Amino acid sequence: MSTLFDALQQRRSTRRFLNRSVEQSTLERILTSARRAPSGANLQPGFVHMLAGDPLAQLSERLCMAFEQSDTHPEEYDYFPQPMPAYLKARQREVGYALYNSLGIARRDIPGRLAQHRRNFQFFDAPVGLVITIERAMGKGCYMDLGMFIQSIFLAAQGEGVDSCGIGALASYHHIIRDQLDIPDNEVIVCGMALGYGDPQAPENQFETPRAPLDEYARFFGF
């Protein structure tokens, strides 16, 4: 990775991984580098629960079972606005269709879509799964800090040649995760993440997601 700009341009979500483990020392370097992310008053909010091998397989099995039984429960926090404005819904749909198109899953192929959604709970078969939590008492600013930490994990991983995907879907099954990993009640389960070496041949790893043009989200004064 020659520059940070290259890293930002080239990072993309990886949803299929090679059967190749990631060294713990590599993961420790990723986390300690990512923890250099800034945070308000240097509070450094957020905890990372790192899983591989049997603990990952056991959590994944329970999550998949819950998914099959539609055993969801009220979210611990709102990720998305309720209701979702039309322009955001359009962005959400666009990325969903890009993913399903890459896999040849037709728009009305509900079983195909459900099968892909289930892969979230298998951490996309990655060798490493993360569960990211934050103390319940934290304010919105601390969630912003946690986001910076999460993006830094994505980029530090990339610097180590390790691919990634965020998994917000995990938060829908927070009671199972809490029970399985013995996470205390004063922590909110924010999201998961898959880490590993991406399969370069997999179609779902090929597509690039668009971004809104600069003038839709930035205004310049006095230039």
Ligand X SMILES: Cc1cc2nc3c(=O)[nH]c(=O)nc-3n(C[C@H](O)[C@H](O)[C@H](O)COP(=O)(O)O)c2cc1C
Chain positions contacting ligand X, by CB under 6 A: 12-13, 15, 95, 120, 165-169, 191, 209
Nearest to 133 by CA among 64, 186, 68, 96: 186
Closest approach, Cβ 178 to ligand X, in A, equals 18
Strands (E), the chain: 47-51, 128-135, 163-167, 187-196
Among all residues, whose Cβ is closest to ligand X?
166
Q: Which is nearer to ligand X, 123 or 180 (CB)?
A: 123
Rounded to an integer, what distance in angstroms lies between the CA atom of residue 56 and that of residue 123? 9
Q: Which is nearer to ligand X, 188 or 191 (CB)?
A: 191
Give me the residue label for tokens 């728009």: 107
- Helix ranges restricted to H, 18-104: 24-34, 53-68, 86-102
Q: Which is nearer to ligand X, 26 or 151 (CB)?
A: 151
Of all helices (H) and strands (E), which one includes residue 20? none
Closest approach, Cβ 12 to ligand X, in A, equals 4
Closest approach, Cβ 220 to ligand X, in A, equals 25
Q: Which is nearer to ligand X, 25 or 201 (CB)?
A: 201
Closest approach, Cβ 96 to ligand X, in A, equals 9
